Amino acid sequence: MTMARTCLSIILAAGEGTRMKSRTSKVLHPVAHLPMVRHVARAALATGADRIAVVVGRNGEAVAAAVRADAPGAEVVEQTERLGTAHAVLAARDVIAEGFDDIVVLFGDTPLIRPETLQRARASLAAGAEVCVVGFRPADPTGYGRLIERDGELVAIREEKDASPAERAIDFCNAGVMAFRGETALQRLQAIGNANAKGEYYLTDLVEITRGDGLSVRAIEAEAFEVAGVDNRQKLAAVEATWQAARRLDAMQDGVTLQDPGSVHFAYDTDIAPDVTIEPNVVFGPGVTIASGAVIHAFCHIEGAAIGPGGTVGPFARLRPGARLDDGAKVGNFCEVKNAELGPGAKVNHLTYIGDARIGAKANIGAGTITCNYDGALKHETIIGAGAFIGSNSALVAPVRVGDEAYVGTGSVVTDDVPDGALAIARERQVTKPDRGRQIIQRNAAAKAAKSPGDAA
């Protein structure tokens, strides 16, 4: 029913964020590797917003680009002077004038807002309210606008600075999210004045103006965590912690084993199938998918990687963007894999760098192998065939191809292609001199004794 109504979401993102002490706009600071404002835009889209307008301050190009990553058609409007939340909403007056059934105003610095809550606010409009305000009960209401209710109706929002002592005692506060009907909104928004303690145009005054027209205004309650705003680094960390805690719970409910949930950090888009096990201290950057049966051992950093069914990673492994592990492939301790595909059952077990490479099924890459993919200017590819064996401590100088079932002797520096089934050894031959070793040991011991007599060997 609600879905049939058209909807415009206006995201206010003109905040200065001076308390972040950052050259980056406040709303671009990431939570779970996604700029806060994109979390908000995605929540709006998830509730069926037909149109998104973002209100930015000066130099808002980066904010606009971020929102357009999710909502390519987003309208970006500039609020050149920061004169209050109603003034900010009116910066989008041309978009409002296009005519929408519902308008939902959101703050760009409140990234945990849930689509369900926005849906409830819209449902309230569909049920007859002209305005619906999202409220919450913070542990400390100081600084928030208080919601003044009577007989189930919201009669006013009083900002802290304008509130009487009795009003300040109210613990039900304005979260900043407001939904209102679009048809008549412009007229009422334009009627908002700035005769208040801050001299700002308060969006919250829409409540009394709408009530004055004899229309219904409602408040719904959200949980405090989801409407937490971020204006300093401590709050950013707190919101990140809330997001991570919720994501860990979701993962476990979806059948993922987290041996020490609090030490696993997800990105906004980490995609993990059931029956994956994740050991302690694992950090995911964006763009990771993990198929069922995979195991991520302790202390791994994984981003932009796809791990196939039954793959294993770590402990202490780093998968960088473009790492792809097919079924049962294995990347062991102290290995780094970047832009490389490991075929089914391939093994890269110890102390190895694999970059810009394709490794065939069941190939075995010995300890300490390095693909020398970079010549100081360009990157080159290494291809290793199915069933190939690369002896430990080999350097594969790309571009180079090692064929199927080819064998590279330990310690080789491979600069030429190795045909299928061939053995390549590219190192000095061993020289062995009988007794010479013992002589050296004895000579060195004598030299040491002569230098500091009395010292034990």
Q: Residues in the site for ligand UD1, rule: CB under 6 A?
A: 12, 14-15, 55, 79, 82-85, 87-88, 107-109, 144-145, 157, 159, 173-176, 202-204, 229
* Tokens describing residue 263: 């030490």
* Tokens describing residue 150: 């009577």
The residue among 198 and 379 lying less far from ligand UD1, judged by its C-beta, is 198
HSE-CB at 207 with a 13 A cutoff on CA atoms is 27
Helices in 254-393 by DSSP H: which ranges? none
* Tokens describing residue 216: 């219904």
Strand ranges inside 126-216, DSSP E: 131-136, 146-150, 153-158, 173-181
Distance from the first to the final alpha carbon of the chain: 88
The residue among 119 and 174 lying less far from ligand UD1, judged by its C-beta, is 174
- Is 350 a catalytic site residue? yes
The residue among 35 and 108 lying less far from ligand UD1, judged by its C-beta, is 108
Least spacing, CB of residue 56 vs ligand UD1, in Å: 8
**Dihedral angle of Cα 399, 402, 403, 404, to the nearest 10 degrees:** -130
Q: Measure the CA–CA gap between 178 and 102, rounded to whole angstroms.
A: 10
Distances (CA, A) of 287 to 322, 323, 428: 9, 11, 43
Question: Which residue of the set 39, 265, 301, 350 is catalytic?
Answer: 350
Least spacing, CB of residue 168 vs ligand UD1, in Å: 13
The residue among 159 and 336 lying less far from ligand UD1, judged by its C-beta, is 159
Query: In 10 A of CB 362, how many CB atoms?
Result: 17
Q: Measure the CA–CA gap between 154 and 422, rounded to whole angstroms.
A: 81
Q: Which residue in this structure is represented by tokens 């009530």?
A: 211
**Dihedral angle of Cα 226, 83, 173, 53, to the nearest 10 degrees:** -40
The residue among 203 and 346 lying less far from ligand UD1, judged by its C-beta, is 203
Residues 6+ apart with CB under 8 A from 24: 62
Least spacing, CB of residue 109 vs ligand UD1, in Å: 5
Task: Give the residue closest to ligand UD1 by C-beta.
Answer: 145
The residue among 12 and 361 lying less far from ligand UD1, judged by its C-beta, is 12
Q: Measure the CA–CA gap between 172 and 161, rounded to whole angstroms.
A: 16
The residue among 100 and 201 lying less far from ligand UD1, judged by its C-beta, is 201
The residue among 229 and 345 lying less far from ligand UD1, judged by its C-beta, is 229
Least spacing, CB of residue 319 vs ligand UD1, in Å: 36
Write the secondary structure of 202-246 as one string of H (helix), E (strand) and C (coil). CHHHHHHHHHHCCCCEEEEECCHHHHCCCCCHHHHHHHHHHHHHH
The residue among 17 and 403 lying less far from ligand UD1, judged by its C-beta, is 17
Least spacing, CB of residue 79 vs ligand UD1, in Å: 5
Q: Is the dihedral of CA 303, 305, 307, 312 positive or negative?
A: negative
Q: Transcribe 243-273 into DSSP letters.
A: HHHHHHHHHHHTT-EESSGGGEE--TT-EE-
* Tokens describing residue 89: 């909403």
Q: Measure the CA–CA gap between 19 and 238, rounded to whole angstroms.
A: 15
Least spacing, CB of residue 124 vs ligand UD1, in Å: 18
3 exposure class (CB count in 10 Å sphere: 0-12, 13-18, 19+)? exposed
Least spacing, CB of residue 48 vs ligand UD1, in Å: 23
Least spacing, CB of residue 179 vs ligand UD1, in Å: 14
Q: Measure the CA–CA gap between 359 and 390, rounded to whole angstroms.
A: 11
* Tokens describing residue 66: 């971020």
Q: Which phi-psi region, left, alpha or beta, contains residue 154 (left: φ > 0; alpha: ψ -120 to 50)?
A: beta
Least spacing, CB of residue 234 vs ligand UD1, in Å: 16
Catalytic residues: 350
